[in-house]
Amino acid sequence: NARLTDALPSGLTALPPLREVIARHGLTAKKAFGQNFLFDSNLLDKLARVPGPLSGARVYEVGPGPGGLTRALLRAGADVTAVEMDKRCLPALAELGDAAAGRLTLIEGDAMRIDEPAVLGAPAHIVANLPYNVGTALLVRWLTADPWPPWWLSLSLMFQKEVAERIIAAPDSDAYGRLSVLAQWRSRPRIALSLPPRAFIPPPKVDSAVVHIVPTQAPEGVPVKAVERVTAAAFGQRRKMLRASLKALSGGLEALSASGIDGARRAETLTVDEFVALARCWSKLS
Ligand code: SAM
């Protein structure tokens, strides 16, 4: 698209191929960092479109690695702040920063320890091909943000397909659990893309999927802590009846009776709204 190319800072169109950058900087994928890289620029552009149009938008990217997804986000017109833990990637990313004419800010560090609102200064879309070893922990951190609506505008995140299915699962399915309730009680998750192992280098052992999550209004009178504690207790022993599993939580049985939910039911049969009602009762009583 000639007009789009004209609109890009010339540095971005003149970038060397990703494979060349990886070879020149010796960026062999390391297991310890959960590294499975994406190279296909059509696929990367598709991933960068998941949050919607990004022209002029602020994006926070975790784990840019050699910068394939970062390039796609910059091509889409975003201002990107990226946090990377692997020092080896930083010189390659700095070159991309030079080409991006001020639209890329790099942070070296661990995404689990970043004070995102302070670093970003304004709401941002989060887009990431996450390292599988920290993906779920980061998701829980972002889903349990306080206050709500959170500092992030949307999440577009790569997971192992099995984790993506847990995030969007409905009651009465094996995949339904704590992660489903945490993701669904005040946001709307959907699977936006599915990817086979061969999309990555090196290929992981399992299929992957990109989950898109947009925050919705939070129900009144339900602190995050209450949802976390009630779901942890209920799913901690998912095969047991609630009247047994909620014994582990102080005030759990009183909340169960106040909510009117039958104590003979098991956690995986409760809808997200029923968990919200239970958490509301628990927080009032405790
Ligand atoms: N975005 C690149 C792509 O799509 O090709 C790389 C994705 S790779 C699956 C995950 C990246 O996250 C790696 O570059 C890894 O070094 C980085 N990473 C792993 N743990 C991290 C952490 N705790 N904080 C920040 N980056 C991390």
Residues annotated in the binding site for S-adenosyl-L-methionine, as ranges? Answer: 36, 38, 63, 84, 110, 129
According to the model, what pLDDT value does residue 8 have?
Answer: 62
Find the DSSP H helices in the chain: 2-7, 10-13, 18-24, 41-49, 68-75, 90-99, 116-120, 132-143, 161-168, 178-184, 224-236, 242-245, 252-259, 272-285
**Centroid of chain to Cα 286:** 31
Ligand 1: centre distance to CA 151 (Å): 22
ipTM: 0.99
* Average pLDDT along the chain, 286 residues, taken 10 residues at a time: 53 91 94 94 97 98 98 98 97 96 96 96 96 90 96 98 98 97 98 97 96 97 97 95 97 98 98 98 95
Residue 213 near residue 159 (C-beta atoms within 8 A): no
Report the predicted TM-score, pTM, of the whole model to 2 decimal places: 0.95
Handedness of CA 236, 239, 242, 244 (dihedral sign): negative
Transcribe 81-97 into DSSP letters: EEEE--GGGHHHHHHHH
According to the model, what pLDDT value does residue 127 have?
Answer: 98
Ligand 1: centre distance to CA 173 (Å): 31
Vertex 197 angle, CA 130 and 157, to 5°: 25
Protein residue with least CA distance to atom 6, ligand 1: 65
Pocket test for ligand 1, best of 18, 22, 36, 37 (most atoms within 8 A of CB): 37
According to the model, what pLDDT value does residue 6 have?
Answer: 47
Ligand 1: centre distance to CA 59 (Å): 16
